[in-house]
Every structure is written in C-alpha cells, then in structure tokens.
Chains A and B, each alone.
Chain A
C-alpha cells in the first residue's frame, strides 16, 4: 500500500477528526451529530447526480468509479456493486483500522466472495475474462449466500453477452434459480421470458405471460390480452382452459352489457324482483351458469345468455348442470322447473325421475331454500338408501314418507312409535292407524 494511501487512512481514523465538535461536552450525542455532519458534507460531493462530469470520483485504491449513466436500474445496480460504493465515502468513525488494511486488488474469487458475504462491497471489475467470471460465480454459489450470488449475477448480466450468460446458467441450476427470482422481483419481464425461452421452458413462458392478465383491470383490455394468450405454448390441457377463459370473458361482457340495459330499462320482471348484487364479469364458469339459470332460464339455445348455450359451449357435464340449475330454480322457488329438470322421458313416453347427483343432495338443496314440505316430500321419497331416506324424512317432517317406509319395512314398533310425532286427529294419524289395523300386512315385529 502506498504511503499516500496510508496517510489518507490515518486521516480518516485519527482522533483529530473525531474531536472536532462544536459542543463542549464530548458526549455520544454530539459525536453522533458531528459524524452525521461529516457524512452529510461528503454526501454533497458524492451523490449529487446533477454535478458536472468533471468531478472524478475515486475509490480508496485509486480506481475510478461511478459510471454515471441513465441506463435502467439494473445497470446502475450492477455499477454500484462493481464500484466501491457509497460506504467508503461515509466511513464509520469507529471502524477499526484493520478492516482497511489489506484493501488490495488481488483477491481471489474465493476471497472476494468471502468479503462480500461479510457485507463488504467489492469491486468485481477485475474479473475480466469469461473464465474468471465463471469461477467467481461458482464460488458465490458454493458460498450459499443468496445476496452474494445475486450480486455476482447482476455483474455478469451487465458484462456478458446474453447468449453466453444463458448458456452458462443452463448448467448451473442454483445460480439460474437466483437469477429468475431476481428478474421476477424487479419485474424484468422481457429478459425473464427470453431466458425461459432459451431454456425451452416454454410452458413457464406462457404461464408467466398469462399471469399478467391479473394486472389488467379494464375488462375489454383483459379480453384482448387473453385472446393474445391463446397461441402461447401452453400444455394441451392448459390451452383449452385458456381458450375457455377467453370465451367466458367474452360472453360475460356481452351478457353484462345486455343485462345492465335490461335492469335500467326496468321492464324485465326478474330483474325488478331480484336486483343484481354484483356484475358477472370475471366470475367463474359455474357462477356464470348459476346466474344464467337464475335470470335467463327460459331463453333459447341461440342466445349467449342461455344456460343451454353455456352448457354446450363449455361442455359442462350433466351432473354439474343439473346441480347448478336446481340450485338456481330452487332459490326462485320454481318447483315446476325443479320437477322438469329431474324428469326424463324414456322411449316409451313414460316419465321417470332421475337425478345425476343423488336425491339426498336434491333434498338438501331444496331444504336450504325452504321448499314446502309437499315438494320436499316428493324427492325424499326417491332417496334410494333406506336409512338416509328415513333420516331425511324424519328430520324434515315428511310424515307420509316415514309412514310408507315403515310400512314397507313391516316395522310395527317404529310405526307405532312414530304416532306421537304426528298431530292428533290429523290425516297422517288416521293413515298410521289404518295401516296398523291392516290384517294383510305380515309385520316383522
């Protein structure tokens, strides 16, 4: 180390500097004030970006620093990390001399990494050759400190050609992870996508782009954006989902515009009776179907808002469709519609009740919507499993069904016991009595 440099250090660390206070008391507070003043005065010289270019800034070792250019942030980030940084202009006065002693430019990659791990800013400029840079990177990775790895990557990003950087990272998974994470954090979407494309992680590219749609509030713009996503290299299954997403939003926009018009016009009964609480935009498919079954049930397949159109377009399975339509019609207390949903005509013209979801679920939904007992009863009767049927019938006071079931089970004891659950003198009581008195029945108990 040159004599001059040693003298400089002496200057910064000497007690002469420290004792320079305006106050008489040599207390901690005024020392702090003083050091702050020193820092501030230095700051004025160093950090002012509007200064003219004549001012040359040098580090302790005499190397010129501070490429002052207006490049995007990652550039200056790496600049700062490759030069000796602010720290050396605002020395902490109590820092032991030893720390500045061996500030040389001859540190090996290993030593450089070690120093960086301890939080000391180091110049990485001297690592000029590709070989040196890669050794530095590998040392950083071996050191397991994320901060250091990222700092080195920033340096490499600035000083290496993109293809070379990508190629080298392809075989260094840990470093690659860190760079990807860094690019995501700083929002460098373009570089991130380029990197992913290079790595042939095309699906990730596609998903990464698709993710951006969440930042688009305007519905039309979002629709456009989604349309653009369709051609991206998603997996086969995901492609169809993205396609559906776009189609759904497209439909929702049309429905929303139409329905808002209907609402304000005030002519439509359903919208008057049940004003909408929220817009249908960006809602999931099943919610949209519910909405459609609620407000547009009777529409023909040709319209965008009809349930059957939705079912066809999105290939909604029967089970899901019946369930949703059921819930919507039950909410409107449209019991006839419920009935029609669950009735199928076979080829002989006979109708039969069928539920692709199990009648106990039907009963559940109806009950939740306060269906009258007569309606409920009909479907409780159709529950296949006897125990479930009895449970539900008893729970919801579907007396006829209970009575019928006990009769079919030939269970006299239970039937008799059930008498106390029905009203005195009611038709149900009479029914029970007549069954109990029926000599044809061969009771099992």
Chain B
C-alpha cells in the first residue's frame, strides 16, 4: 500500500509510519470504544496517512462529519473531535457539546485532537463558551508534512500564501535531535517563496497530471471524473442506466502506467497509450501460445498483473479522451495563444482584445483574472490606463464588490501598477531562458516542455543553483522580489551523509506558498537527466493550480452565515 512512497530516493514511508504511530498513541489514550467527529477538510489528508482499518483496530466504531446540532446517539465511550484550530469550528463543537444529553448513560467522554497544532486562541474560545473543561484529552497531531508520493510532501495547508519561511526555519532548527531525522538525508535545502515566481501558477499547465488538475482538480491524490466514459461495457446488460456518481480514481506512482505518463506533455501521451495497448494485447494473446503446463501456469500467474494493466490503460485512455475534448476546443486554443503571447513578451503593454471579448461574454471571472494577472506579471505591472480599463470592465460586468478581490490581487503583487516605469520581465526572460521557441514535446531536452515553451522560473532557479550556481545570475536575482540568501548549515559529522562515488546529490526543494504539478514534473525531469548530478525531493505548503490559487486570494464575497 505504501509502494508509491518508497519509490523515491528518500524513503518517505518512515514519515508516514511516524504519523501512524502518533495517531495510534492518541487513540489508545482515549481508551474504550470511540466515535470520531471529523472536520471534513481533514479526511482527505488523513487518508494519506491511515485507512479506516487502522482506526477500527483502535476501537473506532463510528465516524461522523462535524456539523452543528446534536451528535448522533452512538453508544461509545469516547467522542473525539478531529479539527483544525479554527474559531468557527470551535463554535460548532460548542454546540455539539452543549446539546449532549448529560442524563444519558453511559456518559460519553469528549476529547479534541487539533491538527496540526493546538491554538491558545481556540482553547480560550472554548473556555469562554464554558465547554473547555468538558474535554479530557486536548492534544495536537502534527500532521505537518504529508507524504503524497515517493518524492513529494505537502502540508495541504490553507493559509498557504503567507510568509511561512519562518516556520520552515524553525523546523530546520528543531530537527537536530528530533525523531524525524529526515533532514540530514538531504545535501541541500532550497526554500522557494511563491512570491519569487508569481508567473508560473497563472499559466495553464500542459502535462498530463497538470491538465487533470486544471480541469478536474486533484484532492489528496484523488480525482473525481464525469462517469459516462467509465461505464462498464458488459454484454447482456442492455438498457442499464449510465452511472450518475462521478468516477473517483486515485493517482499516484504505484500505478505503473500513470507514473510513466503523468509528467509528460499531454501531446506525448497518446503515443504511449497506443504502444501500451499493443503490448497488453500481445500479452493477452500469449495464452494461445502457451502449450506446456509450465507455460500455462506462468501465464495464469501473470494474469492479475495484466488485468490491472489493462484496467489502468482503459482508465487513462478515457481520461485522455476527456482532456482532449477540452484541449482541442477553440476556447482552449485561444486562451493558450494569449498566454503564450504574454509569456514570450508580445503586446503585454496594451489592453488585450481576447480578454476584453471574454469579459464581454461574461466568461468565468477566475479565467479573466488569471489572464490579466499573467499580463501584469509579464509586464512588471500594468500602465495606469490599461489597469483602469480592465478594472472598470471587470467591475461593471461582475459587480462592484470585486473591488475587494482586485485589491487582494494587488496586495499579492499579481495585478498592479507598473511603478518603476520599466519592464524587467524581458531581461529576466532572456537571461534565464524562460521562453524556448524550439520546444520538443515528445522527447524533451529542457524543462520548458511542461508549458510547451515556458520554463518555470522557480525550477530554472533550482536548476541554476545546482549548476553553475547563483553567482552567475546575481544581477537578475536582484530583479526578483524578496530577499535572497544562502544559508550553509554544517551538519555534525555523525549526521553527515556518506555519499558513494558517482551518487547524485539530493536536494529538498520546499515551495512556500504552493507548487504546481507542472513544476513537480519539471523537477523530476531534472532529476533523471543523465548528467544532472542532482535528485530532487519536493515539499510544499499546498499543491495548487492557477484557479485554486486565485480563488484562495479572492475575497469571500458571500455574507457570513448567521
């Protein structure tokens, strides 16, 4: 079950095991039968650490979602709340506790598990409501970094786009001497704040996994897809209705085919799938050639694997078809064309016709925002006239309350005035070779294949750090936002990794503020470059795409529920 976690250079199963151990310890502390009341947001990340079977082993008999009102009757000795430290959730818990029938027997004990950490604020809030004393065990479960795959860790933290460098530095300081001795395994630690590269998440990702995320959204390695293409085509089942429930699939490197195609440019996926189809067909044909008992036995023993491969192929063929419907649409093409114009530096200084047309046709606001922000970033900010023009059109079409949204984007540096009077982007683009005209999507030789021409700035920086080092791009670094520093930490000799001759260095790249699947693909590409010299493990506060990222920056414009 943890195959995908041990596939990388660094064995992340240990991290998950530590997580499970901590969970078991807490559950055992609340002895007896238990019911868990879940903060819905946590069920996904927890699913990456432990399954229900583990909980059952520790007497978890019932699981419910956190919501106001009376808790369900369940005859358990303990009720444990698994929640994030948020005030609004404390209100719900208070409601649950106050409505508990004290006359019932046996009485149930309450406990809280704060994820990822306790909060003085929340506990005081509970005290204010008079319920703090109702809880026997109040603990924290440090679900900080969740191993998502063999080379990928995520915090899945909502407050992603804040300055979390501090936290990271603190973690780094605490590590010598702590249980999770992960860090001495890495030769280099690279902290990349999202602010340094605001461009990349705005562009539409063009890798297979990137497109799945852009179109359908991947949550904790799961994706929900429209079911029509996944209906089983069984004979003799005529007249059966098509399934209405979305098809849920898990996507990680444990699935061989997925591991092969996930990081490829989407245009290169088709040929892999058709090759695979031929191989699988041929494999199934082998049954006709098996003559001896030995050969038949061998064929049969391989059947499960072949069937899994065939089912995997069927799923991904369907997904690829779904994606192709979108990528071959006129709108996708027009949108991509404008994106690429901006990224290659064309016409970034005037109001764009396509954007205006989209506003006029009232396309989804997020799409508009992605494009205008992209233009702004590729122009080091927009001129007053252009900015005012866009703002006006947006406010008139989508509503004046979006002044707040636009203000948030401005604060984040995504949509702003060009203050310095000059555009630095062309220099940055040329020096770091961010736009590559001769991109090869089938057999890439450069990371720019992930956006069919644009090399993610963040990954380019990582690439140059390894070789030849940032000294060579000092001038350009000064143009990028934020302070830069290199911190060299001398590890105590006992912890220093003994590297074998010819072995690659291992670098942990920690993206503060989110990372896209395309950037992950680009780093994996660098890892397997023959003369690369470095392998990468990626950690982040959250996995993002342009849409989810902008959404998190947008004002919540519905009134608070009261």
Q: Which residues of A contact B (CB under 8 A)?
A: 28-29, 32, 35-36, 39-40, 43, 47, 73, 76-77, 80-81, 86, 90, 119, 121, 143-145, 147, 150-151, 174, 182, 185-186, 207, 210-211, 213-217, 237-238, 241-242, 244-245, 248, 282-286, 314, 316, 319-320, 323, 357, 361
Instruction: Find the B residue at minimum CB distance from A144.
Output: B166
Q: Are B121 and A76 within 8 A (Cβ)? A: no
Partner of B403, one of A29, A80, A210, A319: A210
B501 close to A (CB within 8 Å): no
Which chain A residues border B169 with CB–CB below 8 Å? Answer: 144
Q: Could you list 7 further interchain pairs (A-B, Cβ under 8 angstroms) beyond the known A238-B403, A248-B400, A284-B399?
A: A35-B136, A43-B133, A207-B407, A215-B560, A245-B400, A285-B400, A361-B357
0/1 interface trace, chain B 387-418, chain A, CB 8 Å (1 if under): 01001110111111101100100000000000
Could you give, for residues 10-33 of chain B, a 1 whenever the CB lies within 8 Å of some chain A CB and a 0 otherwise? Answer: 000000000000000000000110
Contact yes or no, A215 B120, CB < 8 A: no
Give the chain A neighbours of B140 by CB distance below 8 A: 119
Partner-contacting stretch, out of B124-132, B337-345, B522-530:
B124-132
Cα distance, A285 to B87, chains bound together (Å): 36
B109 lies within 8 A of A32 (CB): yes
Partner of A242, one of B133, B396, B400: B400
Contact A241 B121 (CB under 8 A): no
CB distance from A222 to the nearest CB of B (A): 10
Task: Report the separation of the CA atoms of residues A429 and B136 in the bound assembly, to the nearest whole angstrom.
Answer: 89
- B407 CB contacts on chain A under 8 angstroms: 207
CA distance A286 to B357 in the complex (A): 14
Q: How far is the CB of A206 from chain B (nearest CB, A)?
A: 10
List of B residues within 8 angstroms of A90 by Cβ:
133
CB distance B404 to A207 under 8 Å?
yes
Contact pick for A211, options B119, B132, B170, B404, CB 8 Å: B404
Q: Which residues of B sit under 8 angstroms from A145, Cβ to Cβ? A: 170
A80 touches B127 (CB 8 A): yes
Most buried by A among B391, B398, B401: B401
Name the residue of chain B whose CB is nearest to the CB of A204. B407
- A248 and B396 CA atoms in complex are apart in Å by 10
Choose among A29, A43, A237 the residue that contacts B391 (Cβ–Cβ < 8 A).
A237
- One digit per residue, 1 when the CB lies within 8 angstroms of any chain A CB and 0 when it does not, for chain B 464-475 equals 000000000000
Find out whether the CB atom of B31 lies under 8 angstroms from the CB atom of A215.
no
| Cβ contact within 8 Å between A286 and B136 | no
> Lowest 4 CB-CB distances: which A-B pairs, in order?
A144-B166, A245-B400, A284-B399, A144-B170
Contact across chains for B401 and A214 when beta carbons are under 8 A apart? yes
Quick one: which of A39, A119, A282 has the most chain B CB within 10 A? Answer: A119
A28 close to B400 (CB less than 8 A): no
Pick the residue among B109, B136, B360 that contacts A320 (CB under 8 A): B360
Chain B interface secondary structure, helix, strand, loop or mixed? helix
8 contacts between A and B (CB under 8 A): A29-B32, A76-B124, A86-B127, A147-B120, A237-B391, A284-B395, A286-B362, A316-B396
The CA-CA distance from A242 to B400 in the complex, in Å, is 7
Pick out which of these stretches binds chain A: B194-202, B249-257, B510-518, B551-559.
Answer: B551-559
Q: When the two chains form the complex, which single residue of A73, A151, A214, A357 contacts B558, counting CB atoms closer than 8 Å?
A: A214
Q: Which residue of B lies closest to A92 (CB)?
A: B137
Q: How far is the CB of A304 from chain B (nearest CB, A)?
A: 18
Task: For A248, give the chain B residue with the smallest CB separation.
Answer: B400
Q: Which residue of A lies closest to B78 (CB)?
A: A32
Contacts of B357 in A (CB 8 A): 361
B118 at the binding interface (Cβ < 8 Å)? yes
Q: Is the CB of A119 within 8 A of B118?
A: yes
Q: Complex: how many Å from CA A210 to CA B405?
A: 12
A129 CB, min distance to chain B CBs, angstroms: 24
Nearest Cβ distance between residue B77 and chain A, in whole angstroms? 7
Measured in the bound complex, the distance between the Cα atoms of B310 and A89 in whole Å is 63
Chain B positions within 8 Å of A213 at CB level: 401
Number of interface residues of B (CB under 8 A): 44
- The reply to whether A144 and B133 contact each other, CB–CB distance below 8 Å, is no
CB distance A210 to B404 under 8 Å?
A: yes
> Complex: how many Å from CA A216 to CA B401?
13
**Closest A residue to B174 using CB positions:** A117
B1 within 8 A of A: no
CB-contact partner of A81 in B124, B393, B403, B404, under 8 A:
B124
Which residues from B are CB-within-8-Å of A86? 127, 132-133
For the A-B complex, the count of residue pairs with Cβ-Cβ distances under 8 Å equals 108
Query: Does the CB pair B118–A320 fall under 8 Å?
Result: no
CB-based nearest A residue for B86: A185
Chain B proximity of A285: nearest CB distance (Å): 4
B128, B140, B396, B398: most-surrounded residue (chain A CB, <10 A):
B396
Chain A neighbourhood of B555, CB < 8 A:
211
Given A144-B169, A211-B404, A244-B400, A76-B128 contact (CB < 8 Å): yes
On chain B, the residues within 8 Å of A214 by CB distance are 401, 557-559
A22 to B: closest C-beta gap in Å: 15
Q: How far is the CB of A375 from chain B (nearest CB, A)?
A: 21
Q: What is the distance, in angstroms, from A248's C-beta to the closest C-beta of chain B?
A: 7
Q: How far is the CB of A252 from chain B (nearest CB, A)?
A: 12
Contact in complex: A28, B31 (CB < 8 Å): yes
B167 and A144 contacting across the interface, CB-CB below 8 Å: yes
On whether the beta carbons of A284 and B128 are closer than 8 Å, the reply is no
Query: Is B117 engaged at the interface, CB distance under 8 Å to the other chain?
Result: yes
Distance, CA A11 to CA B227, complexed state (A) = 65
Q: Which residues of A contact B32 (CB under 8 A)?
A: 29, 32
Residues of B within 8 A of A217 (CB): 559
Minimum CB–CB distance for B170 against chain A, Å:
4
Cα A238 to Cα B388 with chains together (Å) = 10
B348-393 at interface with A (beta carbon < 8 Å): 357, 360, 362, 388, 391-393
Q: What is the distance, in angstroms, from A54's C-beta to the closest C-beta of chain B?
A: 22
Judging by beta carbons under 8 Å apart, are A36 and B109 in contact?
yes
Q: Quick one: closest B residue to A49, CB to CB?
A: B130
Q: A286 touches which one: B166, B397, B404, B557 (CB < 8 A)?
A: B397
User: Taking each of A144, A145, A245, A319, which has the highest tally of chain B beta carbons within 10 Å of its own beta carbon?
Assistant: A144
In the complex, the answer to whether A241 meets B395 with C-beta atoms within 8 Å is yes
**In the docked arrangement, what's the CA distance between A216 and B118, Å?**
34
| A182 cross-chain contacts in B, Cβ below 8 A | 121
Residue on B with the closest CB to A364? Answer: B361
When distances are taken between beta carbons in the complex, the residues of chain A under 8 Å from B398 are 284
Pairwise interchain contact B87-A32, C-beta atoms closer than 8 A: no
In the assembly, what is the distance between CA of A285 and CA of B394, in Å?
10
Residues of A within 8 A of B362 (CB): 286
A28-B400 Cα distance, complex, nearest whole Å: 61
With A241-B403, A245-B400 as contacts: A81 and B388 at CB distance below 8 Å? no
A77–chain B nearest beta-carbon distance, Å? 5
Cβ A320 vs Cβ B404 within 8 A:
no
User: What are the interface flags for B77-99 relative to A under an 8 Å C-beta threshold, 1 for contact and 0 otherwise?
Assistant: 10000000001000000000000
Q: Which residues of A contact B120 (CB under 8 A)?
A: 81, 121, 147, 150-151
User: Measured between alpha carbons, how far is A150 from B118 in the docked complex, in Å?
Assistant: 13
Residue contact A32 to B136, C-beta cutoff 8 Å: yes
Q: Which residues of A contact B124 (CB under 8 A)?
A: 76-77, 80-81
Interface contact B396-A314, CB-CB below 8 Å:
yes
Q: A77-B124, A90-B133, A214-B558 are in contact. Are A207 and B396 (CB under 8 A)?
A: no
Cα A424 to Cα B407 with chains together (Å): 62
User: Which of A43, A80, A90 has the most B CB atoms < 10 Å from its CB?
Assistant: A80
Shortest CB distance B482–A (Å): 14
On whether the beta carbons of A147 and B117 are closer than 8 Å, the reply is yes
Identify the closest chain A residue to B77 (Cβ).
Answer: A29
A376 to B: closest C-beta gap in Å: 19
A398 to chain B, nearest CB (A): 20
- In whole angstroms, what is the CA distance A316 to B109 when docked? 63
Nearest B residue (CB) for A240: B392
Q: How far is the CB of B163 from chain A (nearest CB, A)?
A: 8
- For residue A315, give the distance in angstroms from its CB to the closest CB of chain B: 9
Q: How far is the CB of B122 from chain A (nearest CB, A)?
A: 10
The CA of A150 and the CA of B360, in the complex, are separated in Å by: 46
